[in-house]
A = this chain, B = another copy of it.
Amino acid sequence: MAPKKKSKRSLTSRAPVAEAATQGSRATSYDVALRAGISQSAVSRCFQEGASISPKMRARVMRAAEDLGYTPNAIARSLITRRSNLIAVIISNLTNLYYPEVLAELSALASAKGIRVLLFTLSSESEIDHVLEQVWQYRVDGAISAARLSSAQIDTFSKNGVPLVLYNRYLQGSAASAVFCDQSDGARVLVERLVSVGHRRFGVIAGPRDSFVGQERVAASLQQLAKLGFHNVPVVAGEYDYESGVRGLHELVSAAKRYLQAVICANDVMAIGAMDAARFDLGIAVPDKLSVVGFDGVGPASWSSYRLTTLRQPVQRMAEATLSLLLDRISNPSLPAERRVFSGTLIEGSSAKLGPT
């Protein structure tokens, strides 16, 4: 291996080797110090907020830094400050259409606060342990998870002193902070209004088993239906994607012998799939012959071809809350866990007939 060429060990009072950041290795605070004829610690101070340094000295240092193309090494800094300014964002399926919106918000907000996002995506549930291993290695200051975490996994966060905020899910009995949207209320309103306008035969396309919000949406809907006297509502499984919606509707329709009147889908994309399946595969007019509703409020839901009736999540406010919870706990680790619960907004599109407000 080629020998590094930094002299080191010989402090400021050494021959001023005019040493530019040539090949590969970048300039260090040490190089800058040498060039500015000053101590290394003074250079360090120049790059800190309220450090005591005289204006003339700072100017000299900054000039030298510029000449050498010096940038402080955040890695080395975080080693000693014990702050990486890194947060982990763990997302299970970026293909969900909903999560990119969340990620974009989180990333923008974090960036504005000088925090960097280390992204971890899972293509399968089984990767989670491996991913967590990486999270620990990088000594992130905190983590946001929109992926399913077991209670034991959640515990490792506090054990490792890494604040964690769950997004769009929480674990009962676990003391993890969480931000999510309580859609039970919305689901109840939705169901009630569907019933009030005369829908009688319902079907549900559920989300994946590991989706917390999916379960909640379905459960709340079924519960309200039961309350209003509708039992044994058929539920088919889905995977949150368009094809699931298409497939789901086919299944429901064949099960219901075409008498289906309203379909509640655990997310928008499946609702869109269901609408398309109804109109194009089965020749069922939406909303005249079939009402379709979804959850999320993603972009495509509002496209003219769909104008989906859905319960929109306040993504931006939720992202803000998530980051704020996290940053609070990073600066004060002893803060107790907190849940921030939002309400969804009912978007009355034209994919379902609803009763009067």
Q: Which residues of A contact B (CB under 8 A)?
A: 23-26, 69, 71-76, 78-79, 82, 84, 86, 89, 94-95, 97, 99-101, 103-104, 107-108, 111, 116-121, 123, 127, 131, 133-134, 136-139, 159-161, 242, 246, 272-273, 275-277, 279-281, 299-300, 303-306, 333
Contact = CB atoms under 8 A, between A and B. Distances in A.
15 contacts: A25-B161, A71-B136, A75-B138, A75-B139, A76-B79, A79-B79, A95-B101, A116-B118, A116-B134, A116-B138, A117-B118, A119-B119, A279-B305, A280-B304, A281-B304
Contact of A119 (B26, B117, B242): B117
Contacts of A95: 100-101, 104, 299
Contacts of A76: 79
Contact of A161 (B26, B123, B131, B272): B26
Contact of A24 (B25, B89, B94, B161): B161
A218 to B, nearest CB: 23
Contacts of A280: 304-305
Given A24-B333, A161-B24, A299-B242, A137 B104 contact: no
Contact of A69 (B82, B104, B159, B276): B159
Nearest to A246: B304
A355 to B, nearest CB: 25
Given A24-B161, A118-B116, A139 B104 contact: no
